[in-house]
Structure formats: C-alpha cells, structure tokens
Structure 1
Amino acid sequence: MKYLLVLAVVLVAFWVWRNNRLTDDTDAQRPSARKKPAPRQPTIMVACLHCGTHLPQNEAVQGRQGAYCSAEHRQLSEGAKP
C-alpha cells in the first residue's frame, strides 16, 4: 500500500510538471504574448546659450535669442532686468 501511494504521488507530480511545461511552451509561441512595447521617441536636447549646459527642450527657458537653462541665465545673456 505504501508503494502504491508513493507511485501515485510521483505520477501526479510528473503530470503537473508536464502540464506546466507544455503551457509555458504554448505561451512562448503566441505572438501576442511576447510583444515588445513600442520604442519611446528620443528627447530633443538643447544647449543653454549662456553656460552650454544641455537639457531637454521642454525644460528650457525660451528667450529672444534661444534656449536657456534658467531664467537667471536668460536675463544675464539678454541684458534684461529682473
């Protein structure tokens, strides 16, 4: 009786292992399961006209002559008073 129980446990373990392995293989074959996300667009970088620091264009402070890294550098370069 003891050997019959051990054999049943081994068979159930083998069946579970085999079913999990087959399920993993079918997931790998599905094209929708392994789709890569769309690549992100590169960020446009600009250089500050006063100090030359590069920063993303959407974070730059725009002045009459171009882009600056801060309002202070824009004022210093363009000669504007605060």
Structure 2
Amino acid sequence: MIKLIIIFLIAWLGFSVWRKLRRPKSNDIPLPSTRKMLSCNVCKTHIPENEAIIQDGKAFCSKKCLG
C-alpha cells in the first residue's frame, strides 16, 4: 500500500512540474492593445476614440447625444 502511495505522489509531482514548464512566461504573453478613450461631451460616457463621433472638436458617444 505504501508503494502505491509513493508511486502516486511521484506521478503527481512529475505532472505538476510538467504543467509548470509548459505554461508561457508572463513576458511572453502579449499585452492588450490600449486605445485612447474620450469622454462624451453630453453624458460623460467614456468611449474608444475610434468609435466616437467628433464634431467641432467635441466627442459624442452616439447620434442621440450629438443631436
């Protein structure tokens, strides 16, 4: 019975080490791209710059806030 427990522990330890070696290192994971955020001139909702409606130098989140 002791032999079975020792074999199980060795197998578990080997599996744990193998999993740790397979994980990507933290510096290998690409960082998410950051986008400039703008605040809607009317409702103050923050939206990505590429989704904003810009008029007269002011940012709006939707046509509803624009009109």
Q: Shorter-normalised TM-score: what interval?
A: 0.5 to 0.7
Instruction: Name the one with the larger strand percent.
Output: 2
- Say which one has the larger Rg: 1
Select the structure with the greater relative contact order (CA < 8 A; seq sep ≥ 6). Answer: 2
User: Relative to total residues, which structure has the larger helix share, 1 or 2?
Assistant: 1
| Shift in Å, 1:71 | 1.0
Identity score, percent: 17
Give me the TM-score of the superposition, normalised by structure 2: 0.62
Counting matched residue pairs gives 63
What is the Cα-based RMSD across aligned positions, in Å? 2.3
Opposite residue 12 of structure 2, the aligned amino acid is: N
Q: Which residue of 1 is the match for residue 17 of structure 2?
A: 25
TM-score, normalised via structure 1 length: 0.54
Shift of 1:38: 1.4
Counterpart mapping for 1:7-18 below 5 A = 9-18=1-10
Matched, 1:62 2:54: yes
1:38 pairs with 2:27: no
Query: Which stretches of structure 1, 4 residues or more, deviate above 3 A after TM superposition?
Result: none
Taking a change above 3 Å as real, the CA distance of residues 70 and 26 of structure 1, as seen in their structure-2 partners, is closer
Structure 2 unaligned regions, length at least 5: none
